[in-house]
Amino acid sequence: MKPLTYMLLPLLYYLTLTAQAQGLKYVPLQENGTTTAYVSVPERFNCNVNIPDTPTALCAAGGYIYHLHGAFISNPVDPEQYFNNLLQQVSAENPNANIENRYRISSISQYVTQRDANLLFRYGQQVVTYGFDVVDKQDNQKSSAAVTVSSLPNNGAPVTIVQLYGVTVPLSESHDYSQIQNELVRFAQSYQYDQNWLQSANAQHLQFQSNLSAKNRAFQQSQQQIHQSNMDALDRSHNSYMERSAASDRSQSAYIDSIHERQQLVDPTTGTRYEADGYYDYNYVNPNDSSIYYRTNDPTANPNINNNQGEDYQLLQENNAGW
C-alpha cells in the first residue's frame, strides 16, 4: 500500500516488541515517550520499520505489511466526505493502484465504541468505519484497509480522531480479499489501551472538567454580581426619584394649602387625617364624631376639662408629610 497521507497527520509511534501469545506478539505504541496502547502482529514480523514511500508501515515481513496511522483534527468533519477525499488522494498518488471495493465495517466501529467506553474524554463519540480494497500490480501488492472516523463532542468544541489500519500481502500469494479483511479486523480489534495510560488520561480529563466547572462558576458569579450591581443602581436611582417626587408633592401640597388657607392635621394615636380651613395652633377632635371639634390659639385651653359625658377630644398634630 502506497502512502495514505490525505489529511492524516502521524502520531509518531515509536515501537518495540514485548510479550508474545498464541503466535502473536504485542507491540507497544508510544507517544512522546509514553506507552499509550498495544496492537498484536504475528511473531515473525519486524516492527518499527522504515519502508520508502510507505509512511503508514508499522510491521513487515516477506512482502507482508501491517499499517497503522492516526490523525487528530481540531474540527468536525463529515465522515463519508472525508473517506471519499481519502480515496481520491490514494488514486492520485498511486496511478497504478486500482480501488476494487469499498464498504463499511460495523464490527470495528462497535469494538472501538466498546473499547473507548472507559476513556472519559471520548464520552459521547460517534464512530464510523469505512473499508476499501486496492490492488497495485506494478508493486505486486494487494491490500485491505479500514478508516475509523470518531467524532467527539469535546465540551461543545467538536473534534475528530481518525485511525487507519491496513494489511498488505504480495499479489503473487493466493489470498482473496475475505482472508485479508478477516486479518484486518483482527488487527484493528487487537488495539487496546495501556491501563496506566488510561488511568492517567482519565485523571487529567477529570481535572480539566473540574477546572472548567470552576471557571464557569466564577464567570456566573461575576455575571450575577454585575447584574446585582446594576439592579442596585437602578433601585437607588428609582428611590431617589421617588423621594424627590414625594418632596415635590409635599411642597406643592403645602403651597396649595397656604393659598386656600387649609391646615392638614393627623391624629397621632390612630393615624386618621383631617383637613380644616384656617390656621390654629391647637386643634382637637372627638375621634368618635369628627363633627365635634375644638380649635384655639390659647395653649391653656383644654376642651377635656368639664366636658360632657361621651365627649373625648384628641389633640391633633400638623401633618407635614401631606396626603
For 125-139, how does the pLDDT look when each residue is reduced to its tens digit (9 = 90+)? 999 999 999 999 888
Q: Which tens digit of pLDDT belongs to each residue from 206-222?
A: 776 667 666 777 777 77
Residue 273 lies in a domain: yes
Q: Tell whether 32 and 129 lie within a shared domain.
A: yes
What value does the mean pLDDT of the chain take?
Answer: 82
Average of per-residue pLDDT across 224-247: 73
Full domain range(s) for residue 51: 14-207
Output 167 or 323, whichever has higher pLDDT.
167
Residue 173 lies in a domain: yes
Rounded-to-integer distance, Cα 56 and Cα 68, Å: 6
Residue 38 lies in a domain: yes
Q: Collapse the DSSP code of 249 into the 3-class scheme (helix H, G, I; strand E, B; otherwise coil) and give the result.
A: helix
pLDDT at 41 over 50: yes
Residue 40 contacts by C-beta under 8 Å, 6 or more apart in sequence?
21, 24, 25, 26, 27, 187, 190
pLDDT score of 102: 96
Nearest to 6, CA basis, from 104, 90, 102: 90
pLDDT score of 308: 67
Residue 25 lies in a domain: yes
Residue 263 lies in a domain: yes
Q: Tell whether 295 and 202 lie within a shared domain.
A: no
pLDDT at 64 over 50: yes
Lowest mean pLDDT among 65-79, 152-166, 276-290: 276-290
Q: Tell whether 146 and 263 lie within a shared domain.
A: no
Q: Tell whether 147 and 24 lie within a shared domain.
A: yes
Contact criterion met (CB below 8 Å) for 129 and 148: yes
CATH code where residue 176 lies: 3.40.1000.10
Q: Tell whether 29 and 129 lie within a shared domain.
A: yes
Residue 70's pLDDT band (cuts 50, 70, 90): very high
Q: Which of 146, 180, 207 is the last residue of a domain?
A: 207
Q: Tell whether 77 and 203 lie within a shared domain.
A: yes
DSSP codes joined into one string, 234-274 = HHHHHHHHHHHHHHHHHHHHHHHHHHHTEEEEE-TTT--EE
Q: Tell whether 185 and 93 lie within a shared domain.
A: yes
Q: Count the residues in the chain.
A: 323
Q: Tell whether 101 and 198 lie within a shared domain.
A: yes
End-to-end CA distance of the chain: 97
Number of domains in the chain: 2
Whole-prediction pTM value? Answer: 0.61
CB neighbours (10 Å) of residue 201? 18
Q: Which of 146, 176, 207 is the last residue of a domain?
A: 207
Average of per-residue pLDDT across 4-15: 37
Q: At what angle do helices 106-115 and 177-189 cross, to 10 degrees?
A: 10
Contact criterion met (CB below 8 Å) for 142 and 136: yes
CB neighbours (10 Å) of residue 5? 16
Residue 174 lies in a domain: yes
Q: Tell whether 302 and 160 lie within a shared domain.
A: no
Residue 40 lies in a domain: yes
Rounded-to-integer distance, Cα 279 and Cα 263, Å: 6
pLDDT score of 318: 84
Residue 151 lies in a domain: yes
pLDDT at 17 over 60: no
Q: Tell whether 22 and 163 lie within a shared domain.
A: yes
Residue 48 contacts by C-beta under 8 Å, 6 or more apart in sequence?
14, 15, 16, 58, 59
Rounded-to-integer distance, Cα 114 and Cα 164, Å: 18
Q: Tell whether 172 and 273 lie within a shared domain.
A: no
| DSSP 8-state secondary structure symbol assigned to residue 269 | T
Q: Tell whether 129 and 276 lie within a shared domain.
A: no
Q: Collapse the DSSP code of 117 into the 3-class scheme (helix H, G, I; strand E, B; otherwise coil) and give the result.
A: helix
